[in-house]
Structure 1
Amino acid sequence: MADTKRTHMQTKLKMEATTIHVSTSISMDLYPKLPKEDGVLVVCNGESGVSAAHQSSDHHHQVLSDSIDSGDHDHDLKHPRIPGWFAEHCPIWPGQAHFLKVEKILFQGSSKYQSMMVFQSSAYGKVFVLDGALQLTEKDECSYQEMMTHLPLCSIPNPNKVLLIGGGDGGILREISRHSSVKQIDICEIDSMLVDVYKRFFPDIAVGYDDPRVSLHVTDGIAFLQCNNAVGNYDAIIVDAFDPIRHDHELFETSFLELVAKALIPGGVLCIQAESIWFGSLDIGMLVTKCREIFRGSVEYAWTIVPAYPSGVIGFLLCSTEGPPVNFKIPINAIDTNESYGVAKTPLKFYNSEVHSASFCLPSFAKKMIDSQLINGRTMNGGVGTTTTTMPFRSVHSDHQVLDL
């Protein structure tokens, strides 16, 4: 669901932020690219990105048959392909792949930052793919968007100013709009083409841009925080700006987290995507330790179900700055229960107060991992933990390429 590669992150630090007050205009350069050839659709992930091609089903079957019959396993397929299906797999979850049946490819294109594809699936509705990594589907996007938004905003009283870094699809904006206390919503999205694609093909998600409280800043989130010298500006900051997560990703570096903490009011909150508890390379405990020292308030890990994502779950890290205490596990700021949904067209599909509290209940293995890290951090450092350890997050997401963020 993280919608922007940070390939040009460092160079963008020198750029001035461009502010766009959101309109409903869509680039006229966006036209759906539909396959023209007859045959069987094969959606495959190659070194140059995701592509769709047609080929004879007999030919494809023959290639697979020859490989199996020969008994030569030294040349196993690196990229599993089934005609008419989109495939995604990654070294972090070896021995498995996630497939979705493709009914029709609606769009393929590339910006100067990343490649994009939109297709109609049989089971999940429309699907958005970014550089080969599945970002969201119409069927289950509500879980991610609603939880990432309402976990932080329902944990503090009357949030007023909110900053979203990434989240170019507009779904989190849609959810923020449900909070009537919010007066200002800033979003930093570096890729304007991505915004246009979402507006065209996912209008019920991108409807968040229609909220008059929203200002879109076409710039990098780090540059925005630095250029605006934000100090105590925001009640909440939501970071949905990467996929995949790398161990050296700048959004988990101490310098970025300190910028975020500085930009929050006392008792302000951060929500940042923190991957799945099922991936062995994710050191949640180390991340919690790091954030406890920087934010000096509450730090909690929550998770939710997203069937289309690898492992079927995704996690969030929630942090509060020093000041009025925040108990993330108990929502105190209920979403309006009247007929006003902001710019959203429907009531909540996933989030409620019970799910809110339950999302912080961790399986025994995850709880043990976090608790042991905190204990070790206190023992070794005489305090809460360290801010210098590099976390071993995954370095690639899809099978087709290493993502240089």
Structure 2
Amino acid sequence: MRSELWFTERQNDNLEIGLRINKILHSEQTEYQSMDVVETEQYGTLLVLDGCIMTTDKDEFVYHEMLAHVGLHTHPNPKSVLIVGGGDGGVIREAIKHPSVERAVLAEIDGRVVEVSKQYFPNIASGLSDPRVDVQITDGIQYVKDHPGEFDVIYIDSTDPIGPAVGLFAKEFYQAVSNALREDGLFVAQTESPFVNQDLIQKVHADVRDLFPICELYLAYVPTYPTGMWSFTMGSKKYHPLRDQQPIRVQDTKYYTEQVHQAAFALPKFVQELVRG
């Protein structure tokens, strides 16, 4: 008999996504947020924070590869990498595939996300035990402010702009990110859906454009995120993601390729208009 237990995420006041689940694997209220892990029929194991879908076994590779590899294939020699958020470890896993990366810091405010991900998402969290990885359970915003000029590439792997993640979408924070980068550094942030988060995308793009000489938005397609179309915003001090794209350095990807890197910046007209400013 098929389960009639469903998880439903209200993505906004007018949009929901529902997934049939077989069982609830874990549920708790951490110091910062509610956290649930459930087993779904369609997408395997699912991580939910504050009622929002974070990642699933089946489609996580799209998000993690596209957040990580576009930036790391833009910088010619990334050695030091910082991930703000991303306690599941997916971006860390992808970042340390690059042979030039000597140090990868994870600054995650909620240590329980790290521990639960190790238990229920061992494939996603597999890189957290690598000797190059430094896991810091701390406020990522403060960590960025406290480490000027240290990093070649910084990733903002934030949850939706609610609760503890609100500050990760502020111009003041992007200025701190610029300060934490080396003179030729770059950063990439996830910036939500062009269909349902237009105001946020416009604001972030305008703020990053004010602070960095190079600001570009690109897209990927993550089935469990609102509308499936997902945006990422890059701010770079020197290197352009198309003109300075590096030869591919990793082989074991499922979504990212050299051609996808290029195509991700070919924006539909409505997205071009959204960020034209």
Q: Which one of the candidate residues 8, 16, 19 is aligned to 1:100?
A: 19
Alignment check: 8 A CA contact 2:220 2:231 kept: yes
Alignment check: 8 A CA contact 2:192 2:230 kept: yes
Alignment check: 8 A CA contact 2:247 2:258 kept: no
- SS of aligned partner of 1:310: coil
Q: Which one of the candidate residues 364, 372, 380 is aligned to 2:269?
A: 364
Counterpart in 2 of 1:273?
190
Tell whether 2:234 aligns with 1:329.
Answer: no
Tell whether 2:216 aligns with 1:216.
Answer: no
| Aligned ranges 1:1-40 → 2 under 5 Å | none
| Aligned ranges 1:4-403 → 2 under 5 Å | 83-91=4-12, 94=14, 96-226=15-145, 228=146, 230-244=147-161, 249-279=166-196, 281-295=198-212, 297-321=213-237, 325-330=238-243, 331-337=245-251, 347-371=252-276, 373=277
Structure 1 residue 369: Cα displacement: 2.4
Q: 1:23-76, CA deviations, whole angstroms, 9 ceiling, x for partnerless residues?
A: xxxxxxxxxxxxxxxx997xxxxxxxxxxxxxxxxxxxxxxxxxxxxxxxxxxx
Distance 1:132 1:209 in 2: 25
Counterpart in 2 of 1:401?
none
- SS of aligned partner of 1:317: strand
Amino acid in structure 1 at the alignment position of 2:70:
L
Using CA pairs under 8 Å that are at least 6 residues apart, name the structure with larger relative contact order, 1 or 2: 1
Q: 1:132-186, CA deviations, whole angstroms, 9 ceiling, x for partnerless residues?
A: 1111111100000000000111001010100110000001110011001011111
Report sequence identity in percent.
Answer: 36
- SS of aligned partner of 1:90: strand
* 1:220–1:333 CA distance, 2 compared to 1 (3 A): farther
TM-score in terms of structure 1 length: 0.65
Structure 1 residue 277: Cα displacement: 0.8
TM-score in terms of structure 2 length: 0.93
Structure 1 residue 253: Cα displacement: 2.1
Structure 1 residue 265: Cα displacement: 1.1
- SS of aligned partner of 2:199: coil
Structure 1 residue 130: Cα displacement: 0.8
* 1:349–1:197 CA distance, 2 compared to 1 (3 A): same
Unaligned runs of 5+ in 2: none
Q: 1:240-285, CA deviations, whole angstroms, 9 ceiling, x for partnerless residues?
A: 1232358x93222222111110111122110001111111543533
Structure 1 residue 314: Cα displacement: 1.2
- SS of aligned partner of 1:278: coil
Larger Rg: 1
Unaligned runs of 5+ in 1: 1-38, 42-82, 338-346, 374-405
- SS of aligned partner of 1:291: helix
Amino acid in structure 2 at the alignment position of 1:85:
W
Alignment check: 8 A CA contact 1:147 1:304 kept: yes
Alignment check: 8 A CA contact 1:276 1:314 kept: yes
Distance 2:247 2:136 in 1: 28
Alignment check: 8 A CA contact 2:7 2:19 kept: yes
Q: 1:106-127, CA deviations, whole angstroms, 9 ceiling, x for partnerless residues?
A: 1111211111111111110111
Displaced runs of 4 or more, over 4 A: none
Distance 1:166 1:117 in 2: 17
Amino acid in structure 2 at the alignment position of 1:136:
T
Amino acid in structure 2 at the alignment position of 1:299:
C
Structure 1 residue 286: Cα displacement: 3.6
Alignment check: 8 A CA contact 1:190 1:218 kept: yes
**Matched residues, number:** 275
Distance 1:216 1:195 in 2: 9
Q: What's the C-alpha RMSD, in Å, of the aligned pairs?
A: 1.9
